[in-house]
Amino acid sequence: MQEKECTDIWRRYQAGKDHHNRTNMYTQAEKCHRFYEGDQWHGLQAGDEELPMLNFIKPICRYKIVMVAMNDTAILFSPMDNDPKKAEICEALTAFAAAQWEKGKLDSKKWAVVKNACITGDHYLYCFDERTPSESVVTDMTPRLKMRLIDKTALYLADEQEPNLEEQEWIIIAERVPVENVRRQAKDNGLPEAEIRRIVSDEADETQLGVTGADEVQTDSGKCTSLLFMRKTDGGVAFCRSTQAVVYQPMQTIRGLDVYPVCGMRWEEKMGSARGVGVVERLIPNQIEVNRTLARRAICVKRYSFPTVVYDQDKLLAPEKLGVVGASIGVKNLNANPVGSFVQYLSPAPISGDAANLQAELVGTSRELEGAGEAATGQVDPTKASGEAIKAARDQSAISLNEQSAAYKQFVEDLAMIWYKLWVAYSVRGLRLADGTLLPHAELEALDVDIKIDISPIDPYSVLSRELSLENALAQQHITFEEYVEALDDNSGVPKDKFRAILDRRRGAAPEQSESGAGQNIGPGGAAGAFSPEGALPGMELVGGGVPGGLPGTGMPVQGGAGLFPGDGPGDGVGKGGGNGSRVWKKRKAPAFAGLITKSADGVTFLMLRK
């Protein structure tokens, strides 16, 4: 049974290899990576000569990769109906997905997916839970999801013309694994020793991108090709692992999992193919011609752009010293003959500028056709343009990448759906979140979720534009300072954390101030802090229209003190000054109260006092 199953899996793998060889996938993918990385004279026998190269493919790709991947990505779960219980579960799943995104290092993995899709046309991510899909899940209810990047040459499909992975009859992922690890897994799965001994090393072939037998570390046991086989059944997704001769992990079915745990991003669709088309492939012919033209120009300059010395070998004693700086050269029978009759220099021939013009035209036109010219790549002086203007120009140039942005968004949506399906399939007794909350399996399984992806640009000009919008709203008093701080981006140049710390200290100090103020004397009016001549002006003399003696006239600020009454400023009412030119009040005999508080016509309040 295992021999037949192994033969079937390996036969399918061989059929996939034959298809990839017919379409030249292995060679083309490796060639695209070499040209992106700068190894563009690969295989040329040039001796000691290092030929020049002008790699314009990499800047084009990097610009496109940045425009697609430089965004904050957030997964949002929401119910299809208005059930508040389901909405609460979706909020918990949204927070759990954000934690899983950080734990799985998806911020770096997304760059790898977008980059490789741009270079070779498509790239994939394989998701799995480290827990065994058995009764062990009952005691371990915390998901342990892992994500692994898969090259396009390592993925084999049942139908290479069907772009939807969920419609595939089966999927095979090939990888190179040490033989010792495979044998250990086979032993854990209960295989007999005779079957384990059949697991042997094999040679790495062209199927592994950028890997040959010479590149692998040579060990006693070596490596072998391991195949992860997946197919859909009525009960869920069934999978097994096989080498060329042995199925070392028997077929298992993950109940309730109705999607393949593989998602991918295609850079650009290719008609009649499940694969995508990258940027590098169509730029290779222009890159080759640019390099050839540059090499011809360099050789021509070396040969013809420098003066050539011509001399009379019978007259010069040491002609080899002509190229030595400051050397003395002897001449035979100089007599009246000038030295110029023995040595002359041939002027260099002029070089046509057509080659340089062709090279510049190829580079410029290639960049413009790819939407990555100087005007599109954001080469704008920020000191001469506003952030909004730069952002508008960037958004205009990114219109040509809307298809790739939509493909990236769909990739994240597929990844979120795989996460949700894995949570449901593995959490047969409930899903334990990071905060300890346990979500029942029945509620998770019955949940009909709608997945949305929130993508926010995080380039410097977009962040600056949002900061300016918030500052304008704050300046016009449309929002409070607390709302302004909470609305700032985490990667903003404004110190959001420090502002939060200041606000937290203020909130902590407010209750203490209210408690200390509650114990103060209450004036005759019954309000805390109300004015009382007897209690508030002990030992102070008020003269001339109710202005305290020694206080500057109306409209003149009081320096050296923060308050109006004695004790509020430096000096505390003793002496003539606080050391900085301020004027303080002298302590006098308490005046007698002669009347009530009155108010003048201009709204100024006076006290009717007498000595």
* Residue pLDDT, tens place only, 20-51: 999 999 999 999 999 999 988 988 887 778 88
pLDDT in tens, 268-307: 999 989 999 999 999 999 999 999 999 988 888 888 888 8
pLDDT at 180: 92
pLDDT at 143: 77
Find the range with the poorest average confidence among 47-51, 79-83, 269-273, 540-544: 540-544
Judge contact between 174 and 207, C-beta under 8 A. Answer: yes
pLDDT at 425: 86
Question: In sequence order, which residues have a C-beta less than 8 Å from that of residue 101 and are 6 or more positions away?
Answer: 73, 75, 107
Measure the CA–CA gap between 515 and 325, rounded to whole angstroms: 91
Find the range with the poorest average confidence among 341-355, 481-495, 525-539: 525-539
Cα-based distances in Å from 133 to 69, 439, 442: 34, 18, 18
Q: Identify the bridge partners of residue 249 per DSSP, sorted by sequence position.
A: 241
Task: Indicate the pLDDT class of residue 261, thresholds 50, 70 and 90.
Answer: very high
* Structure letter (DSSP) for residue 154: G
Question: Can you give the pTM of this predicted structure?
Answer: 0.70
Q: Is the dihedral of CA 510, 515, 516, 520 positive or negative?
A: positive
Is the predicted pLDDT of residue 411 greater than 90, yes or no? yes
Is the predicted pLDDT of residue 399 greater than 60, yes or no? yes
pLDDT at 581: 45
pLDDT at 160: 94
Is the predicted pLDDT of residue 524 greater than 80, yes or no? no
Measure the CA–CA gap between 556 and 236, rounded to whole angstroms: 85
Query: In the chain, pLDDT over 70 holds for what percent of residues?
Result: 72
Q: What number is the average pLDDT over the span 490-514?
A: 78
pLDDT at 136: 53
Query: Comparing 524 with 71, which gets the higher pLDDT?
Result: 71
Is the predicted pLDDT of residue 602 greater than 60, yes or no? no
Is the predicted pLDDT of residue 71 greater than 80, yes or no? no
pLDDT at 149: 94
Is the predicted pLDDT of residue 592 greater than 70, yes or no? no
Judge contact between 427 and 143, C-beta under 8 A. Answer: yes
Burial 58-82, CB ≥16 within 10 A → b, else e: eebbebbbbbbbebebebbbebeee
pLDDT at 127: 94
Q: What number is the average pLDDT over the span 381-408?
A: 69
Measure the CA–CA gap between 438 and 424, rounded to whole angstroms: 13
pLDDT in tens, 119-162: 999 999 999 987 765 555 555 677 788 999 999 999 999 999 99
pLDDT at 584: 45
pLDDT at 12: 92
Q: Which helix (H) or strand (E) holds 78?
A: strand 71-79
